[in-house]
Structure 1
């Protein structure tokens, strides 16, 4: 099930005009759906579609005599930068750039979480920063009519119940899918406060070992969503709160505050 949004059309145009395109947004906005849709569209133009996980696979399966689109989902991590994967990319990124420069019919399209794409370390992947499509940007974000079409696709007779909640959360497509998959949900309560979605995301930060990001969120709660930058950059009286929160989040209580600031 797919609605051909202006974002999908924009990404398709970009991959036709560029050698590498990165689709980014926060969770649940539709990165993977657009990634797969565009790959299917390119297959109709005689591109061989190859899903890869390891950047070395691009060099391994590159064929200068074949139109090829390499497809990568969750580029360099899901809930944060995957250090191992980043190191693999750093080892081969210049060779990949050369391949793309020398062959106009070899292309890469990737989907990447916004928190990964915005990490300073991601800049090392220069080839993946040449054309970035942010699905939350004003020119391609979901319009109200597109959201209505997505709701009609998944929810059929319940669309009118959620009309007032289209603009509450960026992850609207995911909420529609989850509502479709769980018909016993109270649809109005779920769209007003999709607590379970965000609870799962936060739990995965901890399980995946992104303790600094987890701690930064906890500090936002501890400071009632008023975590001023100077609290993490200057000597202030909240030392005990910060140290205790770090320990509770499996971080050394002496963790340097700039690390927490970067995590935010």
Structure 2
């Protein structure tokens, strides 16, 4: 932690990078508390709360007072995969953000980011946020340092015993320390990924309900403890779970709420959640197999987008749930339901979109399902599907959306005045640019007076520059 503190003294923005459950979040939170003791006001930045508008959040907090600020950003730009919307939000304001960091001495930003996110080819244009890094896997803790960490979780007299039971070489050591502190783990057994999986598989029904609701809804709000404040979908999900696999009646199950924190559940600012996002990775398939079908019906759109895969996709992962051919229609029906609720992520930012096989199945479903086509056509969201897909770069879906909406839709703009052509030109998606130009895309100015032509040139995409210059639709509006 001292190395991170030293970097933060020297630089305005520091990013801690590492694999899941390696202690990134713990490090930035401990460092943040140290800076709070030194007079800094801590301001957490949580994407789902600030709606991907980081500049507005920073400006509003900086202008509100003269106090020194430390902005803390956990899981920067994604957990299971790169959040291209978040990347776009930060990148779009890089000049203003950079000026704030350069000109405002009393502002610091402390970030944690998964190694897989920052190494992805979709994580581009954010070097100004990740120029000064602390890489956990390049700064391994000594055995004495790890013992010191372990002492924070358990009585000192038990440390020597647990040293033989915890995998000190594992990158997940910080997580194992938290698990070791739980009264529910048999400390006579090794604490590793396998023992955690076994513990969850053998978990009694009463504790499984706690795991289930936290995983299903990302977080179990404190407000939901009172039945009249609990959304109907929560009660329906619990009722469905009881029918599937738990030998409790509905009233007995609800009496278990507020839920037992147990081994894997913690109390947070707004509600209960699993102790670590990596636990989500471990327990998801176990929970889905035990409560078959409940997740597909009731889980949050982010789980639908990131945790399922079609069996026809040859992707080796023990952390994903197979969608069998027999349930393919149910899966797509769930996407349609999310779109009707104006949630785009499970359809247009789905992890499976990277596979042509999946996209062909999705396109076939849209083409042959009039209700799905109508739902897409009637979307009234501020976020525009054409622009969202332009961020992802899937030309076949771009063509599908133009076919549904007609050529007039090709120049639709977002809240910043950007069209899909702006996005594709910036990212270098030549096939997407060609489809947009072929369907009448114009060289419009956005609210920063930038055109796709200028953006392509600034990003070194000279082939796209030539493509835009050749089209008959070049004009400034």
Give your verdict on TM over 0.5: yes
* Gaps in structure 1 of 5+ consecutive residues: 1-7, 222-243, 257-264
TM-score by length of 2: 0.41
Residues 47-196 of structure 1: pairs in structure 2 closer than 5 A:
47-53=40-46, 54=50, 55-56=54-55, 57-63=57-63, 65-137=66-138, 140-156=139-155, 157-164=157-164, 165-191=166-192, 193-196=194-197
Deviations 1:106-147 (A, max 9, x none): 11111112211222232322222110111121xx32110011
Alpha-carbon distance between aligned partners in 2 of 1:127 and 1:60, rounded to the nearest angstrom: 21
Q: Structure 2, unaligned stretches of length 5 or more?
A: 198-275, 286-301, 319-324, 329-350, 360-477
Q: Quick one: structure 1 residues 189 and 84, their matched pair in 2 at CA, closer, same or farther if it must change by over 3 Å?
A: same
**TM-score, scaled to structure 1:** 0.70
SS in 2 for 1:126: coil
- Say which SS state the counterpart of residue 254 (structure 1) adopts: helix
* Cα distance, 1:172 vs structure 2: 0.8
CA distance in 1 between counterparts of 2:9 and 2:102 reads 15
Task: List aligned pairs for 1:234-253, cutoff 5 A.
Answer: none
Structure showing greater Rg: 2
Partner of 1:201 in structure 2? 281
Whole-Å Cα distance in 1 between the matches of residues 114 and 86 of structure 2? Answer: 14
Q: CA RMSD in A?
A: 3.5
How far off its partner does 1:199 sit?
A: 7.0
Residues 310 and 358 in structure 2, CA contact (< 8 A), matched pair in contact too: no
Other-structure match for 1:23: 16
Structure 1 position 41, deviation (Å): 1.7
Whole-Å separation in 2 of the counterparts to 1:77 and 1:148: 31
User: Is the alpha carbon distance of 1:192 and 1:75 closer, same or farther for their aligned partners in structure 2, counting shifts above 3 Å?
Assistant: closer
For residues 178 and 220 of structure 1, the distance between their equivalents in structure 2, rounded to whole angstroms, comes to 24
- Residues 59 and 96 in structure 1, CA contact (< 8 A), matched pair in contact too: no
- Choose between structure 1 and 2 for higher RCO, CA contacts under 8 A separated by at least 6 residues: 1
Which is further off, 52-61 or 95-104?
52-61
C-alpha contact (below 8 Å) 2:25/2:74 kept by paired residues: yes
**Mapped partners of 1:154, 1:85: distance in 2:** 34
Contact 1:80 1:116 in 2 (8 A): yes
- CA gap 1:81/1:184 in 2 versus in 1, 3 angstroms: same
Q: Shift of the alpha carbon at 1:100? A: 0.8
Contact 2:75/2:114, CA 8 A, preserved across alignment: yes
Residues in 1 aligned to 2:131 and 2:304: alpha-carbon distance in whole angstroms: 29
Number of aligned residue pairs: give it. 224
Partner of residue 254 from structure 1, selected from 353, 357, 376: 357
Q: Is the 8 A contact 2:352 2:358 kept in 1?
A: no
**Residue 161 of structure 2: SS of its match in structure 1?**
helix
